[in-house]
Amino acid sequence: MHQNETDRIDEFIDSLHHLSPLTRKAYRRDLNVLTEFCDLETIEYWRELDGRRLRGFVAWRHRRGIGGRSLQRNLSAIRAFYRFLLEAGVVSLNPAQGIFPPKSPRHLPRVLDADQTARLVEIREDDVLAIRDKAILELMYSSGLRLAEVVGLNRANLDLADAIVTVTGKGRKTRSVPIGRHAISALKQWLKSRQGLVSDDETAVFVSRRGKRIAPRTIQLRLKQWAIRQGLSCHVHPHMLRHSFASHLLESSGDLRAVQELLGHADISTTQVYTHLDFQHLARVYDDAHPRAKRKKADF
């Protein structure tokens, strides 16, 4: 593909200033893979990529072990890119329109049970980083926040008096979520300790030892370390706390719509995955408790 054609990707990415840096990076990665495919197929210009060839791209990616969800994201990036090219008058059609990836089996998210979660957040050390980490874990579990939402949280977003945190989630959508009393207590302790690390103009709630906004990778690594130190046998990642929040809340309340609002899901079908987790829990209780739940082996 000619250089001036690949330059279109740079122009497109520059136009996505309303999206998060992570989303822009993912779009560029997806379009770079598409460029690699075009080079292999000797497709010289973006206008030469039609629906038949794009289906070939999807099949090519699928043969390389790329799952349905990743292919769906690939196609979303391509659709957005071609909308940009259409507006610029570079192409006359969007080849990604009406093309869908193969379906992947839906995997249920892994969650911690209530006892495991309580053990994880019961951090008793009192050094500044331990105090910070406890506040992060309590807040993520209390309010079901995404990793990016925690990292991007500013001091002005916290209203501890009214027990509310306001976050900006996917698609730049803002939502307000309640904060539990344990999280409020941990946050108050952290905000006192934070004063000794930050300058007056630092807006981030969670900062590193150097007083700058904490990096996502730092939270991932610290959470992994705490899970080991607190005696959890499974691998724990930040999104597992969000899954646990949703599963435990739905298990207790049965209110799917409320959980959808708290998680900030645009589509309730995304939230419905937690109903399967809830059913699994009920099935285990049934198997353990009901006298006729399991068949006895025949005595021949």
Residue pLDDT tens, the chain, 300 long: 666 677 889 999 999 988 888 888 999 999 999 999 998 888 888 888 999 999 999 999 888 888 887 888 899 999 999 999 999 998 999 999 888 877 765 666 788 888 899 999 999 998 999 999 999 999 999 888 989 999 999 999 999 999 999 988 877 788 888 899 999 999 999 999 999 999 989 999 999 999 999 999 999 999 999 999 999 988 899 988 888 888 877 776 666 677 677 777 666 666 656 655 554 544 454 456 545 455 444 443
Q: 242 and 162 share a domain?
A: yes
265 tagged catalytic: yes
Q: 268 and 125 share a domain?
A: yes
Q: Which amino acid is at 238?
A: P
Distance CA 102, CA 113 (A): 33
Question: Around Cβ 93, how many Cβ atoms within 10 Å?
Answer: 13
Which residues form the domain of 34?
3-88
281 tagged catalytic: no
State which of 50, 72, 88 marks the end of a domain.
88
45 tagged catalytic: no
State which of 88, 105, 140 marks the end of a domain.
88
Which residue of the set 134, 242, 243, 248 is catalytic?
Answer: 242
Q: Is residue 296 part of a domain?
A: no
Q: Is residue 108 part of a domain?
A: no
Q: Is residue 98 part of a domain?
A: no
Which residue of the set 62, 175, 213, 265 is catalytic?
Answer: 265
Q: 51 and 161 share a domain?
A: no
Q: 61 and 160 share a domain?
A: no
Which residue of the set 146, 222, 243, 248 is catalytic?
Answer: 146
Q: 245 and 143 share a domain?
A: yes
Q: 123 and 210 share a domain?
A: yes
Q: 171 and 268 share a domain?
A: yes
Q: 84 and 217 share a domain?
A: no
Which residue of the set 73, 83, 119, 170 is catalytic?
Answer: 170
Which residue of the set 47, 53, 239, 281 is catalytic?
Answer: 239
Task: Specify the CATH number for the domain of residue 276.
Answer: 1.10.443.10
Q: 50 and 153 share a domain?
A: no
Q: Is residue 104 part of a domain?
A: no
Distance CA 258, CA 113 (A): 21
Question: Around Cβ 4, how many Cβ atoms within 10 Å?
Answer: 8
Contact (CB, 8 A) for 51 and 95: yes
Beta strand extents in the chain (DSSP E only): 158-159, 164-168, 174-178
242 tagged catalytic: yes
170 tagged catalytic: yes
Q: Show the tokens assigned to 112.
A: 């911690």
Query: What is the count of structural domains for the chain?
Result: 2
Q: 159 and 118 share a domain?
A: yes
Q: 176 and 215 share a domain?
A: yes
Q: 30 and 76 share a domain?
A: yes
